[in-house]
Amino acid sequence: MNTPDLTVNIIKVLGSAGAAFFIALALTPPLVRLMQSKKLWKTHSGKKALAGGEAKLFNALHNETNTPRVGGILIWVSVLTLLFLFWSFDTLTDHSVLEKLNFFSRSQTWLLAFTLAAASLLGLADDMLQIWTSRHRKLSGGIDLATRLAAVSLIALVGAFWFYFKLDWRTIYVPGMGNLFIGAWYIPFFVLTMIATFSGSVIDGIDGLAGGVLASAFTAYAGIAFFQNQIDVATFAAAIVGALLAFLWFNIPPAKFWMGETGIIGLTTTLTVIAFFTDSVLMLPIIAFPLVLASASDIVQITARKLFGKKVFRVAPIQHHFEALGWPSHQVTMRFWVVSIACAIIGVAIALVGR
């Protein structure tokens, strides 16, 4: 990559992050007015996954009422708006600069845009159902887990078929060893990886926590994609980071709105696809370690409760356990951010070994 191209690519990636940030800031006032006017929040606190004393402890730590829960709309709408604007400018003009800024490409970002849109709409439907049931049935239900898993699996299958049949991917990169041929096993591996990353969506629940953790992960993958000269993937990831930073501006304590399922499902599934595009999927558990930790703590808690009738954590996922121990919520958030940044740095370093 020569110096002029490198400069243009840096401007493209960082400029898209900045543009997404300011688009999200501009969209926030009307979104807040809409959420407030429609009262898009639960009227009753509680999580149906928790039971007994654990549910009471969670409710004592968190009041889920009167705060809009579909703030994740801000993130994916901003990114897709930016993608559409740059594509439109390129399509309607012949300017070379605008052509270079366009990051809507068949080989790299068509699938990313589809995944972000489809999964975010799934999450939005879940959020709206939770709000509706809370308002009319005095419950905190939503789309049941089996249906959500089926929908995420369907999105994952689209991605898996795209990689396997369209892009002819048959291998995964093992740092320090090279490419490992897995053939048709690539498809189920892709699906299971997306489901596993989706399970990390339980990281949401404390002001600023999910946004900061995901911003670190997307920044890491933006860097990996950039070093691999996958500039459109890097630009897409950077745009998500920019939108996340704007979201965090309003989500840090006290939060004006929460990410909700429309944010967390869209982001975790899109992160999975980016991990495959950069052929660094084996680094995903390191780069997104807090997601793994939150999901694993939930699994451990449920297993221990069902098999032994005892709890391992005071409240699961683990971020709420720390709150129950007396950590202020902002302390939990900041420490998770620190761990996320450290894991992202380590993951990037390992991902680039031998490249």
Q: Tell whether the model's pLDDT for residue 51 goes beyond 50.
A: no
Dist CA 34 CA 289 (whole Å): 35
Joined together, the tokens standing for residue 228 give 């691999």
Containing domain of residue 53, as a range?
A: 3-351
Distance CA 270, CA 266 (A): 6
Residue 53 above 70 pLDDT? no
Buried b (16+ CB within 10 A) or exposed e, 232-265: bbbbbbbbbbbbbbbbbebbbeebbbbbbbbbbb
- Taking the C-alpha atoms of residue 54 and residue 316, their distance in angstroms, rounded to an integer, is 8
Q: Are 102 and 16 in contact (CB under 8 A)?
A: no
Q: Cα separation of 353 and 112, whole Å?
A: 25
User: Cα 204 vs. chain centroid, distance in angstroms?
Assistant: 10
Task: Look up residue 311 and give its two tokens.
Answer: 């709890």
Give residue 99's pLDDT.
83
The pLDDT, as a whole number, for residue 57 is 60
More confident residue, 268 or 134: 268
Which of 4-13, 126-135, 155-164 has the highest average model confidence (pLDDT)? Answer: 155-164
pLDDT value at 54 more than 80: no
State the Cα–Cα distance between residues 39 and 36, nearest whole angstrom: 5
Task: Tell me what the pLDDT averaged over the chain comes to.
Answer: 91
d(CA 164, CA 334): 39
* Confidence bin at 52 (pLDDT 50/70/90): very low
How much is the average pLDDT of 62-67? 70
Please tell me the predicted confidence (pLDDT) of residue 97.
Answer: 76
Cβ proximity of 47 and 55 under 8 Å = yes
What pLDDT shows up at residue 49?
Answer: 47
pLDDT in tens, 186-241: 999 999 999 999 999 999 889 999 999 999 999 999 999 999 999 999 999 999 99
Segment 335-354 shows an average pLDDT of 93
Convert the chain into a string of H (helix), E (strand) and C (coil): CCHHHHHHHHHHHHHHHHHHHHHHHHHHHHHHHHHHHCCCCECCCCCCCCCHHHHHHHHHHCCCECCCCCCCHHHHHHHHHHHHHHHHHHHHCCCHHHHHHCCCCCCCCHHHHHHHHHHHHHHHHHHHHHHHHHHHCCCCCCCCHHHHHHHHHHHHHHHHHHHHHHCCCCEEEECCCEEEECHHHHHHHHHHHHHHHHHHHHHCCCCCHHHHHHHHHHHHHHHHHHHCCCHHHHHHHHHHHHHHHHHHHHHCCCCCCCCHHHHHHHHHHHHHHHHHHCCCHHHHHHHCHHHHHHHHHHHHHHHHHHHHCCCCCCCCCHHHHHHHCCCCHHHHHHHHHHHHHHHHHHHHHHHCCCC
* 75 residue type, one letter: I
Q: Which of 53-62, 121-130, 162-171, 296-305 has the lowest average pLDDT?
A: 53-62
Q: What percent of the chain is modeled with pLDDT above 90?
A: 74
* Confidence band for 142, pLDDT divided at 50, 70 and 90: confident
pTM of this prediction exceeds 0.85 = yes
> What backbone phi and psi angles, to 5 degrees, belong to 63?
-110, 110
- Spatial CA neighbour of 196 closest among 114, 275, 263, 116: 275
Average pLDDT value for residue range 127-151: 84
Q: Is residue 353 left, alpha or beta, with left meaning phi > 0 and alpha meaning psi from -120 to 50? A: beta
CA distance linking residue 208 with residue 187, whole number of Å: 34
Q: What would the pLDDT profile of 281-323 be if each residue is shown by its tens digit?
A: 999 999 999 999 999 999 999 999 899 888 999 988 999 999 9
Residue 116: closest CA among 270, 292, 10: 270
Q: Provide the domain count of the chain.
A: 1
**Residues 190, 69, 147, CA angle at the centre, nearest 5°?**
40
